[in-house]
Structure formats: structure tokens, C-alpha cells
Amino acid sequence: MKARLSAPVPKLAVGVNVLPEKAAAVEEAMSDVGGKYTAAVNDCGADSVGYVCGLPGYTENESRTEVTEELLIFSGLDGRELNKAVTILRSKGCDIPLKAMVTPHNRDWTVSALAGELAREHEYMTSRGKRDGNG
């Protein structure tokens, strides 16, 4: 039996609507974990998460949909690397509330669907903290 070896997924953070000063902090954090940062165009909402993260087998959607949320998508990082990158971002005061890691579950989602789901989760967690007296 032959083993199937696939190319490792590059360590990447993709930003949508990330301001330049925050992008510089993300670039530094990703460099510290051996990865890169890239900015996606803000009309990538109809594209799949897999496509914007450069995963093989994904193509650009011809339809263009604007994303208004600030969003950061990580790909190819293990748990330790992700924690390190997020810790570096916090230490630099780089607040990007909507963050996600590419998973087999969400890589086929559109960027707009991911942003919407993250916004709902963030709103829920924020309102829950206020209700519990933590916000």
C-alpha cells in the first residue's frame, strides 16, 4: 500500500478589512510562528474560505459580494502556533474580534457566511458576559 502524502497547508492568516496598523501586527505574529499574512479583497464574500486561504481545489467565485466585517482567518497552524499568534496580537493591542481557524467543516463556507456566524457568536458571547456581570 502506498502512503498518500499531501503538501502541508501553508501557515497563513488572511485578513478582510483589517486596517494597515493591525495588518503589521498580524504580519509580525505570523512571522513569529513561521507563517505569512495576506489581505483579501473586501468583495470576497462569495468566495469560499478554502479559496481565500489558498487551499488546493478551490476556485474564485465569479460573483462578488462585499464583506463589511473585520475578519481574520488562520490556516495551517497547530494549536500551539495559533495560541502564540493570538497572544502576540493581544500583547500588541491588536483587537480583531472576528477570528477563525480553517476547519474541514468551514472551508467550503463562503467568507460572508463565516463572517456572519462569527459575528453572531461574538454578539452572543459579549451579551452573555454583560448579563453575567462580566462586561
Residue 67 placed within a domain = yes
What DSSP string describes 10-77? PPEEEEES--HHHHHHHHHHHHHTT-EEEEEPTTBTTSBHHHHTT-TT----SS-B---S-EEEEES-
Residue 26 placed within a domain = yes
Residue 21 placed within a domain = yes
Q: In this predicted model, what pLDDT tens digit does every residue of 48-92 receive, in sequence order?
A: 999 999 999 999 999 999 999 999 999 999 999 999 999 999 999
Residue 98: give the domain boundaries: 12-131
State the CATH number of the domain containing residue 107. Answer: 3.30.429
Q: In this predicted model, what pLDDT tens digit does every residue of 20-31 receive, in sequence order?
A: 999 999 999 999
User: CA-CA-CA-CA torsion for 82, 85, 86, 88, nearest 10 degrees?
Assistant: 160
Residue 98 placed within a domain = yes
The confidence score (pLDDT) of residue 79 equals 95
Q: Is the pLDDT of residue 2 over 70?
A: no
98-101: strand order across its sheet:
36-40, 12-16, 71-75, 98-101
Element (H, E) at 86: helix 79-91
> Do the beta carbons of residue 16 and residue 70 sit within 8 Å?
yes
Residue 5 placed within a domain = no
Q: For the chain, what is the domain count?
A: 1
Instruction: Read off the C-alpha cell for 15.
Output: 485578513
